[in-house]
Each structure stands twice: as structure tokens, then as C-alpha cells.
């Protein structure tokens, strides 16, 4: 199967802290990685699409300077929430796919971020 590892699983930190979340495809090379955010009892919201070696494509309304995405290799993408505030508290989930959008996305376990 396709395994995607996401770390850390849970973060609790003070307002103003920057938080980095890692997403790794363990057994395949991920052409594309995606970052989602999900608030309680709401649906997945795509934040950005990340391709190895190029700049991420952000969805409308997502601040690229607030949510920094780096996709340095075919197996690793990182999301940094800069100067996090309580309203950034959410469940952040990454996914990865081998090829184009006809290939299924495989999700990491998610990171629950709580900003105090």
C-alpha cells in the first residue's frame, strides 16, 4: 500500500509561535502533495497543492505568507504555520499522490494544532 507519514500528530503551543508540520511519502515518490485543513464537524478544505521543486499553488483566501509550504523532494513536503494564533487551531492533513489527479490521494494521519 501507499503510506504517508505526518509528524507531529499533535501540537500545543503559545500564540505567536511558528509550527512546522512534515509530510513524507514512505514507499512511493509523490508527484504532488496536498495540504488540507478541517475544522470540527466540517468538510475538508484544500489549502494548497505542492509539486516537488516548484512553488505551491494556494487556494483562494489562504495566505501564502502565513502558511509556508516547501516541497524539497519527491518524498517530503512541509507546512509551516507562521506566528500562529488561536484562530489557526485546526486539524491539518496532508496527502500525496503518485501521478496526476486520476491517481488516488493517500492521506497522512493529520496534525491537531492547538494555539493557546
User: Binding to another protein by residue 60, rule CB under 8 A?
Assistant: no
Whose Cβ is closer to another protein: residue 44's or residue 116's?
44
Whose Cβ is closer to another protein: residue 17's or residue 38's?
38
Q: Identify which range of 18-26, 40-48, 60-68, 76-84 contacts another protein by CB under 8 A.
A: 40-48
User: Half-sphere exposure of residue 5, counting CA atoms within 13 Å on the CB side?
Assistant: 10
CB of 31 closer than 8 Å to CB of 98: yes
Q: Which of 21, 58, 108, 115 binds another protein (CB under 8 A)?
A: 108
Question: Based on the number of CB atoms within 10 Å of its own CB, is 6 exposed (0-12), middle (13-18) or buried (19 or more)?
Answer: buried
User: Half-sphere exposure of residue 115, counting CA atoms within 13 Å on the CB side?
Assistant: 16
User: Binding to another protein by residue 32, rule CB under 8 A?
Assistant: yes
The residue ranges that bind another protein (CB under 8 A) are: 6, 32, 43-44, 46, 49, 91, 93, 100-110
Amino acid at each position: 500500500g501507499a503510506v504517508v507519514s505526518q509528524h507531529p500528530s499533535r501540537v500545543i503551543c503559545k500564540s505567536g509561535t511558528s509550527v512546522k508540520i512534515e509530510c513524507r511519502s514512505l514507499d512511493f515518490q509523490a508527484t504532488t502533495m496536498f495540504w488540507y485543513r478541517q475544522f470540527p464537524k466540517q468538510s475538508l478544505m484544500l489549502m494548497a497543492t505542492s509539486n516537488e521543486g516548484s512553488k505551491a499553488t494556494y487556494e483562494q483566501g489562504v495566505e501564502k505568507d502565513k502558511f509556508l509550504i516547501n516541497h524539497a523532494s519527491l518524498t517530503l513536503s512541509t507546512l509551516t504555520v507562521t506566528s500562529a494564533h488561536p484562530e489557526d487551531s485546526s486539524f491539518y492533513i496532508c496527502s500525496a499522490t503518485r501521478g496526476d489527479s486520476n491517481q488516488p490521494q493517500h492521506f497522512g494521519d493529520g496534525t491537531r494544532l492547538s494555539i493557546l
